[in-house]
Amino acid sequence: MQNDLPIWALRDELREAWAQQPSTVLVAPTGSGKTTQICQMLLAERPAWTGRIVVLQPRRVAARSVARRVAEEMGATLGEKVGYQVRFEDVTELGTRICFVTEGILLRWLHDNPDLNGVDAVLFDEFHERNLLSDIALALCKRLQRERRPGLMLMVMSATLEAAPVAAYLGGAPILESRGREFPVDLVYETWEDGSDLERPVWERAAARCARILRDTPEGDILVFMPGAYEIGQTLDALRAALRGQAAPILLLALHGELPPREQDRVFAPSELRRIIVSTNVAETSLTIPGIRAVVDSGQARVARFDAGRGIGTLALEEISKASADQRAGRAGRLGPGVCYRLWPEKTHERRPARNTPEIQRVELSDVALQLAAHGVTDLEGFDFLDRPDPGRIHAAIELLRALGALTGEPRNASITEVGRAMLRLPAHPRYARMMLEAARYGCVREAALFAAIMSGRELLARVGRQETITLRNRARVIEKSGENQSDFFALRRAFEFARAQDFEPRACYTHGINPHTAREVGLTFAQLERMAESAGLLGMAPELEVPPGDAIRRCHLAGFVDQLATRQAGATTCHVADGHEGELADESVAARGSSHRLYVVSEIREITTRSGEKLTLLNTASAVEVAWVRALVPPPDGLSESIEHLYDRLNKRVVAARVLRYRDLMLGGEPHFALDPQAAARALAGEFVDKLEKLPVWNNTARPWLAQRRELASKISVEMLEAILATAWLGATTYKEILERPILPALQAALGEGT
Ligand code: ADP
Ligand code: MG
């Protein structure tokens, strides 16, 4: 233990809080000892405990490195008394007492061991990040503490948390605060005047700034914040170029989650050389890197967002909040007065949000809904979240899961299905999990994984204008194959394979209308999904169903996107989609070419504004599918429904009926039905004529004058009421001719309770 750290000053208060009740909120500056000391203190304080103290970490890098540090301080071997568990890596044993875990692991424990037997305390570290999974984990732990484990200790810790709402959420938990030892940090913003050019890539500006700091100051390490591994790589390249010819050697280091653990630890090793460390926001609050005197902040981070167009979550590049920027700046004030260079102008600083928006308010919620359903939460809309997501978004998530066959029942009482449970074993978006599960039945998991990877990437086919005929012709030659236009998958796969064969070389790709960067990312996602399928045991399975080659992948596509069916109008590219909307199959869609197929499933429904300012719904990445496949996929009421529908045929001026097949409100097909139902026929007539009554002499001559004399009564009649009255008056009629002769007034008087 390091008893000299600021957190030790709070020891008596902590003891008292722990003795009083089971939940506590702790706010103390970065570096004061929350992560490394509290767990040790607690272990010493509670000799009667025999279970684990679990410390939740948002990032794998932090979980590993902090576990190692605590083991060192306790003189223990990592993996024995102190350990960590992250995805694909479990460094704990049965007797482990302090265990650092990432959010996904804690949720899995909660699922497999709902009472968390063997766990005495859960510490939610870095809670200000408000990651989706930590919000969910806290909600589930709170419920567990309330209902079955009153002694389970919960602690929420952070450097920058707004503590009061969390304390209230935890039933009035005490808030403990510590002041840190921090030196003042000067803030220097970019200005247009000093010749810096905000159009230059942020890594070049960061490298230039570092070179100046090295030149102008005698000592101290520099910490550079970049959003992700890619930008870190670019920054290191730019630094190497900028520092060429520099007299004193400089140690350049990267820090991000994709590095092997040994590389990650290098930032903590002592060094004779002056250092520049280029890091993601893992160094913002999770890890305290020694020796920093100056911070260079790009002002950006990669944040999980929901992309409605593709119906999936993505990692988007975003501007960080003011609170994050202040945390980053604070990293320069640990040793003495420091400087933070913000690579954005001061006048745009005010536009930044004050704090991070909780992830639960931003992302698509089907994943959350599925996880919670697996934890036995049936009423999601009523679930006790710290910040409740918008009910409309919860509703949409449940609807999607019902369409996928993962949930069943009403939104306020939804339960998980076998399919839903199986989907949870694949940590991918529910759409892709569902696709891969279906693929296992046909023995085409690899194909489905590739398709999912292609769909999750942004535009594998580059935007090519219609006038760029050479590129278009090149692309068509590579990706199109006659007789294989039932699905865009076949073309997209050829595009990907072409790019891979060219080693993603930009020129070769662009001249063929293929985006090399997307293609490279598709390759990585594909490998990841394959690994996932492998560890879920999907790859070795023998196919359960034999279907013609070429059908299987389309059936998988359908399984993941069944809520996005489109019916195509004969000889056109216009389609009907759900909710009464119309869309156009995109030019790039090979499936749309010269085919006479009627029913498609599409992955992308995107609204665009054309050059002439019109709004247009574009449909892309399509597969031709069959009604029978839809029928086999999800049973009613969440799947297909068939009913007799009556409607007024304006041409023949009579009611006709059809047996209509619908997926939700989208009509997939119909056959004439000759026996009319009198009630339904009367309703169809009423619906047609309710706003055209002035065409009917019997209305004009009797009912209207009668109503005209009873203004007050007339004003109370709604359209629905009038429709019901007409339907009563017209019961037994099926043609226009027949209603011309039917009196309306008696029905009107009866409905309004007036005698003649
Ligand atoms: P907090 O969680 O409050 O930010 P920590 O418990 O992570 O603080 O760290 C407390 C102190 O321990 C820091 O000031 C840092 O100097 C030191 N420390 C933490 N981890 C390491 C490490 N891996 N190597 C060296 N020092 C470390
Ligand atoms: Mg910490």
Pairing outcome for strands 640-649 and 666-673:
unpaired
Q: Which two tokens stand for residue 100?
A: 């650092």
Of 556, 523, 513, 524, nearest in space to 538 by CA = 556
Q: Which two tokens stand for residue 312?
A: 């999936």
Which of 7, 156, 277, 288 has most ligand 1 atoms within 8 Å of CB, for mutation?
Answer: 288
| Distance in angstroms (rounded) separating the CA atoms of residues 291 and 274 | 9
Ligand 1: atom nearest CA of 125 is: 2
Residue whose CA lies nearest to ligand 1 atom number 6? 33
For ligand 2, the distance from its centroid to the CA atom of residue 31, given in whole angstroms, is 7
Ligand 1: atom nearest CA of 268 is: 24
| Distance in angstroms (rounded) separating the CA atoms of residues 362 and 389 | 9
Residue whose CA lies nearest to ligand 1 atom number 5? 33
Q: Which two tokens stand for residue 403?
A: 């369409």
* Residue pointed to by tokens 């119309």: 582
* 661, β-bridge pairs: 642, 669
CB 89 within 8 A of CB 67: no
Domain ranges of the chain: 6-177, 185-359, 365-421, 425-634, 678-752
Cα 103–107–111 angle (5° rounding)? 170
- SS3 annotation, 168-215: HHCCCCCEEECCCCCCCEEEEEECCCCCCCCCCCHHHHHHHHHHHHHH
Quick one: which ligand is closest to 27's CA?
Answer: 1
Residue whose CA lies nearest to ligand 1 atom number 7? 35
CATH class, 185-359 region: alpha beta
For ligand 2, the distance from its centroid to the CA atom of residue 33, given in whole angstroms, is 7
Mean pLDDT by 10 residues, the chain (756 residues): 86 94 94 94 95 94 93 96 91 96 92 95 95 93 96 95 95 90 88 68 94 92 94 95 86 89 85 94 86 95 67 73 93 90 93 87 85 90 90 89 91 89 88 95 95 87 89 93 88 96 95 93 89 89 86 96 92 86 88 82 86 85 94 81 92 94 89 92 94 91 90 87 94 94 90 70
For ligand 2, the distance from its centroid to the CA atom of residue 99, given in whole angstroms, is 14
Cα 254–322–286 angle (5° rounding)? 40
Predicted local distance difference test score (pLDDT) of residue 314: 63
Q: Which two tokens stand for residue 438?
A: 């279906």
* Distance (Å) of CA 477 to CA 29, 481, 494: 60, 8, 10
Identify the DSSP state of 291. T
Spell 537-546 as b/e; 16+ CB within 10 A means b: ebeeeeeeee
Q: Which two tokens stand for residue 550?
A: 């070429």
Quick one: which ligand is closest to 269's CA?
Answer: 1
Query: Within 10 A of 597 (CB to CB), how many other CB atoms are there?
Result: 15
| Ligand 1 interacting residues, C-beta cut-off 6 A | 5, 28, 30-37, 65, 69, 268, 288
| Distance in angstroms (rounded) separating the CA atoms of residues 458 and 462 | 10
| Distance in angstroms (rounded) separating the CA atoms of residues 642 and 433 | 29
Of 517, 602, 533, 616, nearest in space to 563 by CA = 602
On the question of a common fold for 6-177 and 185-359, the answer reads yes
Interhelix angle 103-112/132-147, rounded to 10 degrees, is 30
For ligand 1, the distance from its centroid to the CA atom of residue 127, given in whole angstroms, is 17
Predicted local distance difference test score (pLDDT) of residue 193: 59
The CATH number of the domain covering residues in 6-177: 3.40.50.300
Ligand 1: atom nearest CA of 287 is: 7
Interhelix angle 202-216/229-242, rounded to 10 degrees, is 50
Which of 36, 70, 287 has most ligand 1 atoms within 8 Å of CB, for mutation?
Answer: 36
Residue whose CA lies nearest to ligand 1 atom number 21? 69
Q: What is the CA radius of gyration of the chain?
A: 32
Helix (H) / strand (E) containing 274? strand 274-279
Quick one: which ligand is closest to 36's CA?
Answer: 1
For ligand 2, the distance from its centroid to the CA atom of residue 337, given in whole angstroms, is 22
Q: Please measure the distance between the N-terminal and C-terminal CA atoms of the chain and give it in whole angstroms.
A: 95
| Distance in angstroms (rounded) separating the CA atoms of residues 65 and 60 | 9
